Structure 1
């Protein structure tokens, strides 16, 4: 049964809101990073994000006769050691991504962040045993070409800082695989709660070595970073529940022109042709990978449980 048209429209609006949320988060990270160390920005993003998230997670429990018990039950897990590993890798990915946003042109940092699905495909092969055939391998190879076009290791434009952005994408891919594994036993709210609950102390510890108390408007930038990150994440999750990932992925690409425009208006940045070309290649590769994965998921749903489906395409 085809979902009604208004459901598709809602999913598109939610994804657009998520995209704007993540784009604004990147802008606020850049503003906050002017004088605040990257580790500290990461800590405040997690702390304010957690404060924004708790009321949303607790609201359903407040409607129950025993709210505290209901909330504890909603976030109970038997996978705490795996969450520690997942959040440690996530913190490393966050730090690399925040550093890239603070020190690279915004368009370059965000373009390289979009290469994460390419590494997710490779990680799924190595960690989940998924099979990938020629067409998706071609998309992965083209994605790497796009990364190389932006990074340009053969030219004077090469910067070691661009490899930090690539490292963030690789680590983000590992996190995505771990979330996929955790989602087999835990609910989405449980995953989100324990991620933030562990992120806050994990990001606080290294930030203490470089601590500098924010002042004035810096508090606004830091609070907005946490709020926009949480809003972006929640809207993204709800959009994917309603719509097809292959249809919604192109909407998420709107983050790139948003941050590129902000980089030009707020920070006097310009975008070179190589970054635009590389970004186009990466976005095309990412879209194709999302399209193939969504098609595979539909085929699995239509044939299950009567017929096993061979994964990969």
Structure 2
């Protein structure tokens, strides 16, 4: 039996939302939405690039944790955003219409809000890395697709089918298993990680909302520029010069950020978002290895089990979205 029609999303909107979600899962602003070529024999290359991107994102998070343990998180994010803003300007300048077109938005307040939300989410993510560790933070953050599905009703006025509500419920059971309430003292970082997932879910839904009026080029520009302005206002008072060796780590972090976003853009030029999204979860595997081997984090069994449940539930919601989108295309 098909789910209610209110559970459907337009294919382009769903792809843009999935695309934005993939990028921001790494706590970094998303690149341009894909111009999918639809060439089936290039999907494998797109998947390979997505896996490589997820690996680079994992190393980004490791450097963010390293720097975040020595400096204010907002300072680390501010410098990253300054470099990212230059990257945004360079990328958008090459698009049709250039910067003049990118500035023109029909929803300036929402675009500014998106950029501000992502700055707060990114800053909290770095702080969570320091307090909770890479493994625990990402295990909780993987709940964001479930939060997107749950909030699509109150924010976008959509109905979520009963199958996806079951998946959402299962995912939150997984979160409880990760948190293990009563078994251990809850870490403030766990609350920050969940808040990051919630903020990013709202950001993703707002991205979907503005995509109805603004092309991806415009949203990409405003994400980077509004974010850079916001984080500068919030963080400039905490400015301090980094130690010489830490400037090296910061430079590597920024280079990794540019490289990962360029690879992500290329991946989405080669394959559809629905085919690539599942492979974004490989980042959880990479950060687990880095967290354990580099930072000495402990991979508790409840985290492994809970994260597996959350990922499975998230993949199910993505699969249901793809099924309903395909049904729309076929006219059923």
State how far apart, in whole Å, the 2-side matches of 1:296 and 1:169 are.
25
Match of 2:81 among 46, 51, 55: 46
The structure-2 alpha-carbon separation of the partners of 1:261 and 1:143, relative to structure 1 and needing over 3 Å to count, comes to: same
The structure-2 alpha-carbon separation of the partners of 1:108 and 1:86, relative to structure 1 and needing over 3 Å to count, comes to: same
The structure-2 alpha-carbon separation of the partners of 1:231 and 1:300, relative to structure 1 and needing over 3 Å to count, comes to: farther
Q: Where do residues 1-313 of structure 1 align in structure 2 (5 Å cutoff)?
A: 4-60=39-95, 70-240=98-268, 242-303=270-331
TM-score (norm 2): 0.82
The structure-2 alpha-carbon separation of the partners of 1:272 and 1:169, relative to structure 1 and needing over 3 Å to count, comes to: same
Deviation at 1:241, TM superposition (A): 5.3
Deviation at 1:100, TM superposition (A): 0.9
Give the secondary structure class of the aligned counterpart of 2:159: coil
State how far apart, in whole Å, the 2-side matches of 1:232 and 1:141 are.
32
Deviation at 1:230, TM superposition (A): 4.2
Deviation at 1:183, TM superposition (A): 1.1
Deviation at 1:246, TM superposition (A): 4.2
The structure-2 alpha-carbon separation of the partners of 1:240 and 1:136, relative to structure 1 and needing over 3 Å to count, comes to: farther
Query: Contact 1:89/1:175 (CA < 8 Å) preserved in 2?
Result: yes
Deviation at 1:275, TM superposition (A): 0.8
Partner of 2:22: none
TM-score (norm 1): 0.87
Q: Which moved more, 1:224-233 or 1:293-302?
A: 224-233
The structure-2 alpha-carbon separation of the partners of 1:127 and 1:191, relative to structure 1 and needing over 3 Å to count, comes to: same
Larger Rg: 1
CA RMSD of aligned residues (A): 2.1
Query: Contact 2:46/2:267 (CA < 8 Å) preserved in 1?
Result: yes
Query: Contact 2:89/2:99 (CA < 8 Å) preserved in 1?
Result: no
The structure-2 alpha-carbon separation of the partners of 1:19 and 1:152, relative to structure 1 and needing over 3 Å to count, comes to: same
Deviations 1:252-283 (A, max 9, x none): 11111211111122211121111111110111
State how far apart, in whole Å, the 2-side matches of 1:42 and 1:264 are.
24
Runs of 4+ aligned residues of structure 1 deviating over 6 Å after TM superposition are none
Deviations 1:142-201 (A, max 9, x none): 110111111122222422220110000000000000000111111212111111111112
Q: Which moved more, 1:162-171 or 1:239-248?
A: 239-248
Query: Contact 2:144/2:200 (CA < 8 Å) preserved in 1?
Result: yes
The structure-2 alpha-carbon separation of the partners of 1:89 and 1:4, relative to structure 1 and needing over 3 Å to count, comes to: closer
Deviation at 1:59, TM superposition (A): 3.0
State how far apart, in whole Å, the 2-side matches of 1:248 and 1:111 are.
20
